[in-house]
Amino acid sequence: MLTNAPRGTKDILPDTVGDWLYVENKIRSLCQRFGYQEIRTPMFEHTELFQRGIGEGTDVVDKEMYTFQDRGDRSITLRPENTASAVRAYLQNKLYGDNALTKLFYIGSMFRYDRPQAGRMREFHQFGVEAIGEINPAVDAEIILLAMKLLEGLGLKDLELYINSVGCPKCRSKYREMLQDFFRDKLDDLCEDCRSRFERSPMRILDCKRDSDKPYMAEAPRITDCLCDECSEHFNRLQKYLTKSGVRFSIDPRLVRGLDYYTKTAFEIKYPPLGAQSAVAGGGRYDGLIEEMGGNPTPAVGFATGLERVLLALEKQGLLPDKKNDVDVYVVALGERAQEEAFKLVMDLRDAGLNAAVDYAGRSMKAQMKQANKLNARYAAIMGDDELADGVVVLRDMAGSEQEKVAVNELVDKIRL
């Protein structure tokens, strides 16, 4: 018998599902206020979508994707992130025809082969938003504010927002040369991954976790010194929008994000109490991705947050709601005939919109009352032979222990008072 879930996956059990629903409900409510509509994309896509969208040479594509050949000999990949999938859906379904600005959000499972650790699984869940069709940095600011308001609305305090501009292809070519000149005599001291990044994507050396503490990293050239006029103006206006909104932020010139499609804005939100894995949300602008995937040149910006990481932060700070079973009435049946009538009564109560429960095991009254307490039932409706003969139940208030006889046909109204 297979008794263990695959490494890096986790069952979400009934006692924690409520925590997930709590966060998801907050997400949906906030996105509705901001005008974002939910999209659900397939769990797997053609591998080429991620190779072109994320970029070959990235850790995600080279090391972390779950890729396989299907029975039609097609290369298929479980989605490692959802931006590429959302853009594919945007193009395939011609969502660009509806509005100049298309605003989407998603909640779902993603898959990356990585070493499992706290808040990071091989199957993980992301919430993300994508705003497609507008170059104005006000949209970047709106995206950042949405992320901040979600996390703050969940009760997380002292969040740290870091922003940067990663430029555009025009100004990045100059920066690429500057980085290669800077790191050329340090190649022997860099990790194997960074040595391979030197030619393909030297910016990603700045994002390396293993080499980040090297003393010379702080002296590396800053992309903000190489920005073209357009990118510089965009970054300055973003800062003005954030300042106008009262959002505190720091500029981190080493913040480049790990995917190839980012242009101009890049940002990350950290929650320091989580320690080394403190990043709880991140994203940025990807103005070249839609053209790369076959569409017309279209500006876009988005972000994603890992729900496991958010839930871990909420749990550590005691910010999750109290777990309780909202059972309105637990029907206690004493005797075989009462069990038959109790079954019908429970169904009638549920039809009336009440949460009702009943014992099916024919246990003693004491055991049934114990179960009613365990379920935090507001009332227990007790019925035995005498009550059946009189057409009543004994309705006990589980909080105060007061009880009274109530006619069966008046029970719903009594509970709703």
Q: How confident is the model at residue 62 (pLDDT cuts 50, 70, 90)?
A: confident
Q: Which CATH superfamily is domain 329-416 in?
A: Anticodon-binding domain (3.40.50.800)
Name the CA dihedral angle for 9, 13, 15, 18, rounded to a multiple of 10 degrees.
80
How confident is the model over 9-16, as a mean pLDDT?
Answer: 93
What b/e sequence results for 121-143 when a residue is b if at least 16 CB atoms lie within 10 Å of its CB, and e otherwise? bbbbbbbbbbbbbbbebebbbbb
Contact 123, 113 (CB under 8 A): no
Domain boundaries, the chain: 14-168+228-316, 329-416
pLDDT in tens, 104-143: 999 999 999 988 877 789 999 999 999 999 999 999 999 9
Helices (H), 35-167: 47-50, 59, 83-92, 137-153
How confident is the model over 357-377, as a mean pLDDT?
Answer: 94
What does the longest C-alpha to C-alpha distance in the chain come to? Answer: 94
pLDDT of residue 204: 78
Planar angle of CA 210, 122, 283, nearest 5 degrees: 65
Please state, in angstroms and rounded to a whole number, the distance separating the CA atoms of residues 262 and 282: 11
pLDDT of residue 355: 95
Is the confidence at residue 72, as pLDDT, over 90? Answer: yes
What's domain 14-168+228-316's architecture?
2-Layer Sandwich (3.30)
In terms of pLDDT, which residue wins out, 417 or 64? Answer: 64
Please state, in angstroms and rounded to a whole number, the distance separating the CA atoms of residues 101 and 152: 26
Is the confidence at residue 257, as pLDDT, over 80? Answer: no
pLDDT of residue 61: 84
Please state which of the ranges 171-180, 291-300, 309-318, 394-403 shows the lowest mean pLDDT. Answer: 171-180
Residue 191 half-sphere exposure, CB side, CA atoms within 13 Å?
Answer: 13
Q: How confident is the model at residue 85 (pLDDT cuts 50, 70, 90)?
A: very high
Q: How confident is the model at residue 60 (pLDDT cuts 50, 70, 90)?
A: confident
Q: Which residue has the tokens 């690429």?
A: 176
Contact 248, 239 (CB under 8 A): no
pLDDT in tens, 277-286: 789 999 999 9
DSSP 408: G
Contact 328, 377 (CB under 8 A): yes
Is the confidence at residue 33, as pLDDT, over 80? Answer: yes
Q: Provide φ and ψ at 359, rounded to 5°.
A: -90, 130
Distances (CA, A) of 330 to 102, 272, 346, 373, 416: 48, 45, 8, 9, 14
In terms of pLDDT, which residue wins out, 214 or 49? Answer: 49
pLDDT of residue 224: 87
| Percent of the chain scoring above 90 in pLDDT | 71
Distances (CA, A) of 414 to 43, 186, 352: 47, 78, 12
| Percent of the chain scoring above 70 in pLDDT | 97
Distances (CA, A) of 123 to 54, 69, 79, 399, 407: 18, 20, 10, 42, 52
Amino acid at 269: I
Q: How confident is the model at residue 176 (pLDDT cuts 50, 70, 90)?
A: confident
Q: Which residue has the tokens 């069952």?
A: 11
